[in-house]
Amino acid sequence: MAAALQSDRLNVGNSSDAKEHAARRFRDDPTSLFVDAIADHIKRTGEPETAPGTYKGAIDRGARYRILRPVDIDRRKRPQGDMAPCPMCTSNRFLRGVIAYFMDLGFVAVIGHCCAEHAEDAERTFKTEELKRRQEDFLLLALPALGAKRESLGRLRGLASEAQSVYRKFRKAAPGLHQHLREVAGHHRGRLVLYEILSTADEEIPTEDYVGPAGFRGRGRLSTETRDHDFGILDGLVATLRDYAPQRELDDAIRTADSFDFAGGEAEAIEFIAALDDDPVRRRAAVATCQGLDMYYARFQERLTDFRAFWAPENIERLRRYGNSEFSNFAFDLRRVNMRGLNVVLVREAQREARIVLSPTFTNTSFPEWSYFKFKAP
């Protein structure tokens, strides 16, 4: 220990507050409360050199240490607006550093980033331990919620099945309309707009017939004056996808949930996490599984919510006006009616006519509450 310390001074001299500013000694890792107090002091004052309980004397660059927490110093809070001195290398003052525990010395000190000879080892160890801590914190929240999530997924099978049926009937009953709306979604981002030709280079339309804004398309003899008829934005673009499979999307989430062998609450989660203490591969896989489950469910819910919006009364009415417009080059008709207590969408294109029944399961099933837990790697 003597070789590691260049000085055993605590930089407090013989002042009356020496005891208050004396460095605390630790046989084991300092508590999180102690580290929190140092970090809070630095955040408030910008002065790591006055943090209570930390070692203030010079420390040899070869001393081994473990990083407890990275810290950033706000230069504007420092009395002189300068940079903070580093116990390891006072000539190299710093604004970014770490709260470090020197195991052989039993002290905690705040040092500049990468001042020490063992900085790379300390940084590597910190990242490994920090990753493990974050994974364990995430699993402690995510694991107890798995049971409820499995039950929620099971209750959505009926909704997924009905949505799949509606989508297939729509594609089969109106393939031309489905293709047309897919082009609208791809080329116009879902905007339902038709163009009325007002005049061409060879044919003029009397100005008194013109109402509303107009634009010019083409050049010279090929130019055409037009007026836009905007029917609004199409809701439910998922309905226009070439292949939408809500049942498969729900099955992906269910399969992910079932692949994870865990049941229970917080106590069982603690035991499960403890069993993974020396198995980083399984711990990482457990985190990935919980994240994957949330990802699959979010995708299923978002897309099915969008798909149902396509069949809402206001969107069907928007499409009806668009398809029945005299300026449409693809005439079709969509109407939502009530037949014997059921919501039915009547579809007509060319010589095709069909009825698509929107069952109560499809229209009324609500999504269950779902807890999302974020995990961010250090």
Domain boundaries, the chain: 18-117, 144-190+235-364, 191-233
pLDDT digits (tens, 9 = 90+) for 351-371: 889 999 999 999 999 999 999
| Angle in degrees, CA 116, 18, 5, rounded to 5 | 25
- Binning pLDDT at 50, 70 and 90, where does residue 315 land? very high
Mean pLDDT of 205-213: 41
Least confident stretch, 34-48, 211-225, 265-279, 300-314: 211-225
What pLDDT is attached to residue 224? Answer: 63
What pLDDT is attached to residue 126? Answer: 86
Residue 306 has pLDDT above 90, yes or no: yes
Mean pLDDT of 168-175: 94
What pLDDT is attached to residue 199? Answer: 59
- Binning pLDDT at 50, 70 and 90, where does residue 240 land? very high
Contact 308, 257 (CB under 8 A): no
Higher pLDDT, 161 or 8: 161
Alpha carbons 86 and 68: distance in angstroms, whole number: 16
What pLDDT is attached to residue 3? Answer: 38
Residue 6 has pLDDT above 60, yes or no: no
Least confident stretch, 29-33, 133-137, 193-197, 333-337: 193-197
The pTM (predicted TM-score) of the whole model is 0.73
What pLDDT is attached to residue 229? Answer: 82
Distances (CA, A) of 96 to 126, 134, 370: 16, 22, 39
- Binning pLDDT at 50, 70 and 90, where does residue 54 land? very high
- Binning pLDDT at 50, 70 and 90, where does residue 115 land? low
Residue 194 has pLDDT above 80, yes or no: yes
Residue 308 has pLDDT above 90, yes or no: yes
- Binning pLDDT at 50, 70 and 90, where does residue 189 land? confident
Residue 340 has pLDDT above 60, yes or no: yes
Alpha carbons 42 and 47: distance in angstroms, whole number: 5
Distances (CA, A) of 276 to 260, 288, 354: 14, 14, 57
